[in-house]
Structure 1
């Protein structure tokens, strides 16, 4: 490849100046210059009555060349997310469980979570569409805005909080390298701000690191998630081994607390739901991850590593911090506090080097989690909320600035009620995931008509529903969150909620999921929605819409009576699933 010449640079510079001049020549030209690529241009048969204002490349199905995630990538991806759950055990012990009860409960909660993730992966792995597109199919062209918008807001908050957590490990590294020079940086920020000068420096460094990843869509981050999955292992095991040597295996200090007046059974249910709440966002986000899969099974079964990885990591966290707390008379659970305490007691060059490596690997782990759980989800959501002006990559940059603007250190320092809300909002996500799974497996029989996902008009035979809202899904959603809601409000400080209300809250995620799941199916059996009726009238079997797509047929050929043409080649294709990795 020839090197760029001076004349080529001059030509590009002239082209840039001409584009800028044209963009600022009028208001209309300025708006056009801000728009993302119009993917509908020149498209005549792939979509039906599509509106370019409702689509962009990140809302459309992922093309084959961008499906770069194979089974190994997904295994390492979920392992990397799971193995960093060092502090989960502290939540369980704080609820009132013994250490061995906490370990069992963690495994049960993560097993339930993994099963839900597997089921919520299928639609995206077959049709290669993200959460916003799946939301349109399930909740309607307009109804999806609530479910996507709510997730986008929460993604901003969690993105900021994860930035702050990662900054704590950056502080570990800076202290390990610079010692007292970092630790004694004078503070010039008021105490009311909830952050010190040295912590702001760490936050800013971690925040800047995220910018590099804003330039890449997930299909280009395969190697990074491989790296993240491997690098977290030595950090967790290394710190655990050190703690066992330092304490000589004595881990019997404060391994049982009692913070709620409840029987062991209700404490266990509360703990299981706390564990599910810890992964509620990830369960709902599955379509944004699974859409990049090479084969359908690649994204589905990799989640089964999660219960084992989370349980092992949390067990290491329980035993390590309990032992150190007992020996040194501390009360800490977070890994960054533990690393700080280790340096307080061992400040030699060897110990500081080990602390630096451990903090580095945990920093990479939090970075990967923040990208997977929050950056990608917000980018997807923003691409749907403003499809002509924001694509996924622009969404990444937007969440970067929004996460800084919300001052997450301020939230953690002064808004205890709000952080309690964040911990309990999993019950809202449970109903969303339940309806998505119920719809795909029991209502539409795995048939998603991607050609209709970009048509907001009344002519949309599948996803217009009732003025753009799937009323059946909304009813199931509201009822699902209503039952545990009083107890949830009580957790925020409200008075007057009786024991029954609190017990329903302890059932939280499971209660919301099961209620919305069963109710949505029951309502649709009695009162079918328009999309369900269309599928019944066409007599479509399991995932026949995907079979047409996989055969290279026009996925949803327009038909005046049904809106979907069932290709004669679909019937009797017995080996199709096998050849396509289903």
Structure 2
């Protein structure tokens, strides 16, 4: 029995082994031209070091330091495995997310954190005159005037990056990766020196469910709320390690400072404010400014990579005739105000509930895409047909452009944990069982959809699944009949002149 993708994994492992077989091989592996050990590692290292809040939030909801570290590592390992499987199709066929989504669902289908560090910078410059600025916003707004000014400044900075395509930001991500690490370690070292390394502080548990086991499961699901994706082995290794490292620094520093100062901090901007409350001289303020600037750059990069680009890709799937990736960037920029992120970040409990809910809705999508690729179509995609919106598209038109089987599997996947999610938003009448199902959120949604979709398709196959069965294609056989990403066999007439252009724009 041949395991799908096994040869590729062996090849990656062999390349890693060869890289450490001699000094010359190692130097060759880490050269900039070799993205395996350079660009990817720097990108993920910089991205991972934005996870301080993810770790410190675990302290904020009541875990002790070692429980929080274990939770982060387990959740990131699970997420890395899911990422690898979910992005196999993209890396094999060299397609962007919008095109890959059409395979399964059919042809139609974070800013506040950075602003808070801008507020740290403004306070470091203007001192108490910024902190004590009169508030002219109503209490119902959930944000004060000084914080809204900081939000607007960061929004303007972020707006400038909407004019660039992802490949034009490579140097920015290198810059982010290099400056984030010393800044995060610097704040961590300060906290350890200030507290003598005492990290035994734990906040009272605020979980809605009872029992430590359920509490841990809920925390693991929260940790998987930032799932992204690429199938490269380096990311499978680097992501869980670096995310756990960065989150652990936040966990240990937060636990130590809360214990020493008697506070309930959980995010880095409040920590920097607390430091300035106790050290308000010119030297400490300059250090706080540098730390806040670095963290702002880090969050800006994370928001671009994990949110803005992802949103731009996703939304272009809805109306590709009118919305491309760049227009999606600007739409995301407008929505930054609409989702009132300052309310999401108002407490550790609210933040973790948001992450859990986000993971709940995304887990089913990932599960269906993985099941479709690895089970129902055996890794075969008809590339050219993905760019044919006509009703004559026999592979990906589905039912008026929508794969009803996938939609049904998605709804089944989110149905069980949904009541518990609504309860976390304040809806009454949900029992303990419903809340515990929400604690299982990501895992429950993923496996229910992963099982449901192939079962539905077994008894009610889609038209393209019927065609693949008739053609008797072997594993990923379609990927061997392409030239520069264009399917040379069994393609619709009249679209070849545009296919390669569209693929490059979406990739």
TM-score (norm 2): 0.83
Structure 1 SS opposite 2:87: helix
Q: For structure 1, which runs of at least 5 residues remain unmatched after alignment?
A: 1-67, 146-161, 291-296, 564-582
For 1:365 and 1:214, the matched residues in 2 are separated by: 16
Q: Does 1:123 align with 2:123?
A: no
Q: Which residue of 1 aligns with 2:104?
A: 138
Deviations 1:523-557 (A, max 9, x none): 32343321112112112222222222147875344
For the Cα contact (< 8 Å) 1:120–1:437, is it kept in 2? yes
Q: Does 1:356 align with 2:289?
A: yes
For 1:332 and 1:553, the matched residues in 2 are separated by: 53
For the Cα contact (< 8 Å) 1:383–1:391, is it kept in 2? yes
Q: Which of 298, 302, 309 is equivalent to 2:242?
A: 309
Q: For structure 2, which runs of at least 5 residues remain unmatched after alignment?
A: 1-32, 496-507
For 1:492 and 1:464, the matched residues in 2 are separated by: 37
For the Cα contact (< 8 Å) 2:384–2:491, is it kept in 1? no
Q: CA deviation at 1:463?
A: 0.7
Q: Does 1:467 align with 2:415?
A: no
Q: Which residue of 2 aligns with 1:265?
A: 213
For the Cα contact (< 8 Å) 1:412–1:419, is it kept in 2? no
Q: Which residue of 1 aligns with 2:385?
A: 452
Structure 1 SS opposite 2:42: helix
Deviations 1:461-519 (A, max 9, x none): 11122333222222221211112222222223333333322222211110110111122
Q: Which residue of 2 aligns with 1:70?
A: 35
Q: Which of 426, 432, 437 is equivalent to 1:493?
A: 426
For the Cα contact (< 8 Å) 2:124–2:285, is it kept in 1? yes
Q: Which residue of 2 aligns with 1:575?
A: none
TM-score (norm 1): 0.73
For 2:436 and 2:96, the matched residues in 1 are separated by: 35
Cα 1:233–1:558 change in 2 (3 A) is closer
Q: Which residue of 2 aligns with 1:478?
A: 411
For the Cα contact (< 8 Å) 1:93–1:256, is it kept in 2? no
Deviations 1:300-334 (A, max 9, x none): 54142121112222221122122222222222111
For the Cα contact (< 8 Å) 1:99–1:255, is it kept in 2? no
Q: Which has the larger radius of gyration?
A: 1
For 1:400 and 1:211, the matched residues in 2 are separated by: 7
Q: Which of 270, 280, 305 is equivalent to 1:337?
A: 270
Q: Which residue of 2 aligns with 1:52?
A: none
Q: Does 1:169 align with 2:117?
A: yes
Q: Which of 407, 426, 434 is equivalent to 2:367?
A: 434
For the Cα contact (< 8 Å) 1:96–1:260, is it kept in 2? no
Q: Which residue of 1 aligns with 2:471?
A: 538
Cα 1:182–1:500 change in 2 (3 A) is closer
Q: CA deviation at 1:212?
A: 2.0
Q: Which of 133, 146, 152 is equivalent to 1:198?
A: 146
Q: Which residue of 2 aligns with 1:156?
A: none
Select between 502-511 and 182-191 the one with higher mean Cα deviation.
182-191
Q: Which residue of 2 aligns with 1:525?
A: 458
Q: Does 1:252 align with 2:172?
A: no
Q: Which of 114, 131, 151 is equivalent to 1:183?
A: 131
- Once superposed, what is the RMSD of the aligned Cα atoms? 2.8
For 1:259 and 1:541, the matched residues in 2 are separated by: 48
Q: Which residue of 2 aligns with 1:217?
A: 165
Q: CA deviation at 1:363?
A: 0.4
For 1:470 and 1:509, the matched residues in 2 are separated by: 22
Q: Does 1:502 align with 2:435?
A: yes
For the Cα contact (< 8 Å) 2:80–2:235, is it kept in 1? no
For the Cα contact (< 8 Å) 2:360–2:445, is it kept in 1? yes
For the Cα contact (< 8 Å) 2:222–2:352, is it kept in 1? no
Q: Which residue of 2 aligns with 1:328?
A: 261
For 1:175 and 1:140, the matched residues in 2 are separated by: 50
Select between 386-395 and 76-85 the one with higher mean Cα deviation.
386-395
For the Cα contact (< 8 Å) 1:118–1:301, is it kept in 2? no
Deviations 1:75-96 (A, max 9, x none): 2222222222112234434554
